[in-house]
Amino acid sequence: MKRLLLCTAALGLMAIAPAARAQTAPAPANAAARWEKTVPVIASGDWTGARLPDGQPDVGGFWSNTISNHSNFTDPQAGPPGEPSAAAKLPRDQRAPSRVSDPADGQIPYLPAARALQEDFAKNFPNPVKPRYIEPLARCAPAGVPKSFMWHGYEVRQYPGYVVILFDSGTRVIKLDGSPHLPPQIKLWNGDSRGHWEGNTLVVDVTNNNGKALFGRYGDFMSENAKVAERFVFDPAGQRFNYIATFTDPTVYTRPWTARIPARRFTAADTPDGWHFDVKPVNQPGKPLRYEHAERICAENNGPFGGGAVGVPSEEAVISR
């Protein structure tokens, strides 16, 4: 257990408490609205929207979480360790709720040894004098489950038998074909996903996690023994969804716990902003405006926080010829 916990010491999450949930609210007029303070209520049920030829609910497109980035899992808008945000000065009920919806206190139920590792990471994050205190995402490692849903916008693509999610920090392939998980000795940053649709809800079972990906900058983590049960619950209009994930890991937690991360859709009617709607226009003169997800110039261990290949332009030739 000690080995497993030590290999995950650099991990971090964000959480959501059940109080302060609102009914589905209209999306911000544009990305300047930045962060919302509430989590919409979206019930699982029938899907009444458009479907793809293979029968899947049509939910493809660009999405982004609505309450904060990955700095703090249990107090999303309070900022990272040692760098409190302006919102941190507000009363707690005036900020977004914890991403942990169960337990009711909004805290991850760690075993004592695991809590000590998490607290040690948080204490040393502002001045990482040892490599284990450097967030893996800062070294261009994949953000993993669940942090990928809190780090920049992402694109959902759908194919017969698959849902593919293109993150700023890697790609997830969710197989819908009923095939078995990978052998248990194979461990991946984003785990191994097998899913199916239940009405408006994509139900996914995630195994084979490598236990290295951070949840956020406070060091919240799971080990390679963790299993994650995900539910992507889409509203009838297909404009919002709640990512609801239950984490089970007896080597790290005293009991299973659940997180909730809200997201909304972005379209060509929105203005790209480099975060929520982090896209580039497709070069198709004379045709309607369309955007595409740009591949991040960053691969594991190739550079510092902020983009890896420092100074490489995203829209111009790297080398003038």
> What is the per-residue pLDDT for 66?
97
Average pLDDT across each block of 10 residues of the chain; the chain has 321 residues. List them in order.
Answer: 41 33 40 79 96 96 96 96 94 96 98 95 92 85 94 96 93 96 96 98 97 93 96 96 98 97 96 92 92 77 43 44 34
> What is the per-residue pLDDT for 3?
39
Q: Report the C-alpha gap between 52 and 159 in whole angstroms.
A: 9
> What is the per-residue pLDDT for 117?
94
Question: Omega into 146 within 30° of 0, i.e. cis?
Answer: yes
Q: Which of 35, 119, 26, 24 is nearest to 81 (CA)?
A: 119
> What is the per-residue pLDDT for 301?
59
Cα–Cα distance list, 168 to 62, 92, 144, 277 (Å): 12, 30, 11, 11
First to last CA, the chain: 55
